[in-house]
Structure 1
Amino acid sequence: MRVVLVGLLALTYLTSSTWAHEAEAREGKGCQSVGGSCLSDPATDTMSQTELQDCPVGTLCYINLSERVRRSEQKERIDKGEMVKKKIKKGVRKVGERRREETDEEKENKRHKSSPLNKNKKNKKRKNIEGISRKSKSEVEREVRRRRKQMTSRRKGMLELTDGKVREIGPATRMGKKVCKPKRSCKNENGRCKKKCRGNDTIIAKGCKGKKKCQCCVRGCKTKKSCVGTCRKKCEEWESEKYVRKGCKGDGCVCCVRKEVDPVIPEPQPECKNVDQCKEYLGTCKPRCEQTESVVVGACEGRSCFCCVEEKEIGCPQSQFCPGECTATCKGVVANVTCPGLNCLCCLKCSISTTCRERKGSCKSDCACGEEELIGECTGAGCKCCIPHVQDCSGYCGKGECIYTPLCNQESVVVGGGCNGGPACGCCGPK
């Protein structure tokens, strides 16, 4: 009878424990214990979950990202020997405890341990252990960063409905996010890629790659009190670099001071008149002509004003001021007018009459002092018959005639006596 009762009690205990386990699975307590929750969406992502947690049939166990990363990092550290138990310091006596005197054997062991030879051995072992741990830690960090870069898509893995357990199909991958990285042009200027530069920063165009809203910012120069001038990356032409200790703030900044140069006093421009006349010669009025220029006399009026014309472009062009022709050589009458060009003359083509020749005249462009014009006795543009100015002579000189002595013929002889009208009057008669 006792055996039957014990069997019934054992069966009752097993049945109740099975029901409790099934109820706990339905409620998802196993999933909640690892920081997860039971979801019914088959597209919900759980990334790489090797430990399958119980959930009700037709649901999934979703574990958040931070918990997944923590569990994966912890597992990797355990696999690679990263988890090292902390050493508990021994030999620390409690407060109020009396210090025990060391025996001779303990003192000898302590002296042996503190010897330089043993210290070197301990240091070598410690370095080897720390080197292995640092190496494994860096490898773990690189692996974690690589996995984090692979998560951008909302669907990081595919799941299927099973008999109350989570099962993953295919690898859960993430594409890396775009990162703002500096190009070579940005690195050469010691710049950094940021979303937005500061007010005094210099922006290098197209200096970063990655995101669209990414700028290469070069830290600007800040002028301190010890710098009298302005802090720049490179001084201007009118500035000189001056070394001042702690005068500028910023990478590659120098203190630039204005150069001390004597002020250039501009020459006073002369006030030239009759400029239009010089322009007709294709010239310019200025105080000094160059070696390749010729001067047109009288084309510019004013103090220190000359009409300068380029020789190579001119030759001997015709001028409106020359009534004849501007040439380099002239066989006729040369007018008192300057032609533009090097050694150019204003040449007049004149024909003299007999009357002008008998009156001791000649064809000219202008009559000189002591001469008078005999109108109509020289033909040609700009030609004039210029004869000597004849004095009115009168008086009686015998067989001769009182006339202006330059008009006396070579065959006649000036005979003195009895002529009035001026010192040039004389008696002209036969020999």
Structure 2
Amino acid sequence: MVIGLVVHASHRPRFDAASRTLTGASLEWVTYEHEPEIRPLVGDLLRRKRVDGLLLGPVPYARAREVIPADLPVTVTRPAPLDLALAWGRALADGGPAVPVSIDTFGQDTVDEVADALGLDRALIDAWPFDEAQTVDDIVAFHRRAAAPLVISVRTGVIAAGVEGATVVSAQPEIATIRAELHQLALRVKSKQADELRFAAGVFLVAPNSPDPDRARIGLMNLLLNTPEFADCWIENRDRRGVVVFAHRALFEAVTHRWVDLNVLARAQETLGVRVVAGFGIGSSARTCVALAERAAARAEQEPVPGAYLIEDSGLVIGPMGAGGTALTFTYRSHDEGLEGLAAEVGLSAGTLSRLAAIERGLAGRAVSPGELAASLGITDPSGRRLIRKLSERGLVVDEGSAQVSRKGRPTRLYRLAITSAVPAP
């Protein structure tokens, strides 16, 4: 697990101290001195390093939001009531008055909550909650207009600039606040990874009345090994009739068009001349997955035509899935040495690059997000982002900017595949 932390250089020791209790994760630091540095620094981190989660304050988040992938777990460290109460306490300990006071960045609800707890007159408190459009100059001007003898600020620039005629007290998040949010982010990342790593099994069976079942099974094995959709799967002989495939659940969902049909069965019948059925199982362990897949395949054998079933450990049964009517258009071998050589240069399997070429042709020039590409390949979203970065390094994708795919959330980066034009001519 890799977590990125975006902090002002002066806050690094505080965040260092908060992260010492976190184990099982490596940290990537982005430290900045001035706000304009934030976006390029965060963008550079995300390009050169696989990051599973990002922790940053409201200002860095506002400045870097456009370069942060929409599906990346992000925690924004917002000032907590405890941080404000401790800042007020430090002001009182120095002998100054608690009010009148002007406060920036904290939400009005937080200010009211702490003021009530301390028994302070709200009429003597001016607060300006955080707004993305705020600049340091804007906040300093607010404090000057308030003309209070005490200023409580979260912004580093305000503390450095000072406010004439006022005592400025820093209300940066305390170590306990940072630690709690960092640990919560780690738990979110862990939960997301556990869900993404949920695997499934598929069992492919040759019909028992095949004239030469051993030869048919070997042919089925070779067909699956050279099918682009299964390029990154674990495939092994099961018995005299069957082949077992292990893969991420999302891959099987893509190959079966969300458990509707399975084109590879039609291709198997066309290529091998034998009837092939399949069963898929999703469970809490590899053994359970295989057992459920065997039950699903046995059920598929009862159907009069080639097809497949899915059985989950929850009791859900889906099927029958049709064999589909269209054979696969692209295969690993159809690109010969040109694609194999390019795949070796990029550091991908030829099968994966072949699948990308097929996806590119299907897109017909349309840009795609990393999440959409991951879904098409049946891989996890983080793997899709890593794949985009690898392709980008070799010029096999073109950055097409970003788009707001929904009314809520962050914009998503879009890329156009450029695989086909890069494959050397035979």
TM-score by length of 2: 0.16
More helix by share: 2
Higher radius of gyration, 1 or 2: 1
Of structures 1 and 2, the one with the larger relative CO (CA 8 A, separation 6+) is 2
